Amino acid sequence: MARLPIKTFPDPGLSRPCRQVREVDEDLKQLAQDMLETMYAAPGVGLAAPQVGRDLRLVVIDCVPRDEEPQPMVLFNPRIVHMEGQVIFEEGCLSVPGFTCDVTRAERVVVQAMDAEGRPFTVEGEGLMAICLQHELDHLDGRLFLDRISPLKRTLYKKRRLKQLKRDAE
Ligand code: NI
């Protein structure tokens, strides 16, 4: 297993839709394990392939509390087949350092995907799991949670981030 470098805003790979996975081969199984290791080390509750510079529809998730038994989940080609209700939650993202903001999402979702071995499965998510699934699946369509907040807040963050990057480069 290996930890992978995490891309951060405004890396252009974070705003592009990702390709479908054709076949879950050994390389992709390894990538999913590396992404899990990277996510746990960060630490984070989810990670999508474009966040590690890969143009692929693959996300990994584990949103059980850290003092409980880990429940790593790998989703290839995930898609939402049902969503209902509404919930507001303060989100952050490993690719959007130093910023959190309230985001409105569906309260419950049903997602179909392939698991770590390439077998089809269905997962029903509620609460944090539902939020996490929607947040990670957004990454696969080139969307960050920044794209779901008010334009004013988004502009303020972008300005602050670009200023910070400029300062770091000096
Ligand atoms: Ni994210």
| 145 Cα to the center of ligand 1, angstroms | 7
* In a domain? residue 101: yes
The answer to whether position 1 is within a domain reads: no
Instruction: Give pTM, 2 decimals.
Output: 0.96
Cα separation of 100 and 111, whole Å?
A: 25
Which one from 84, 124, 136, 170 is the annotated catalytic residue? Answer: 136
Answer yes or no: is 5 within a domain.
no
Domain that holds residue 149: 12-169
Q: pLDDT (tens digit, 9 = 90+) per residue, 58-72?
A: 999 999 988 899 999
- Residue 36, pLDDT above cutoff 80: yes
Q: Tell me the pLDDT tens digit for each residue of 88-130.
A: 999 999 999 999 999 999 999 999 999 999 999 999 999 999 9
pLDDT tens readout for residues 14-30: 999 999 999 999 999 99
Give mean pLDDT, residues 24-43: 97
Residue 121 in domain: yes
> Is the separation of the CB atoms in 69 and 55 below 8 Å?
no
Residue 98 in domain: yes
Q: Ligand 1 is a single-atom ion; what residues have CB below 5 A from it? A: 93
Does 128 fall in a domain? yes
Q: Mind giving me the DSSP string for 79-122?
A: EEEEEES-EEEEEEETTEEEEEEEEEE-SEEEEEEE-TTS-EEE
Position 135 in a domain: yes
Number of domains composing the chain: 1
Quick check: is 3 in a domain? Answer: no
CA of 47 to the centre of ligand 1 (A): 6
CA of 93 to the centre of ligand 1 (A): 4
- The per-residue pLDDT for 1 is 73
68 belongs to the catalytic site: no
| CATH code for the domain of 150 | 3.90.45.10
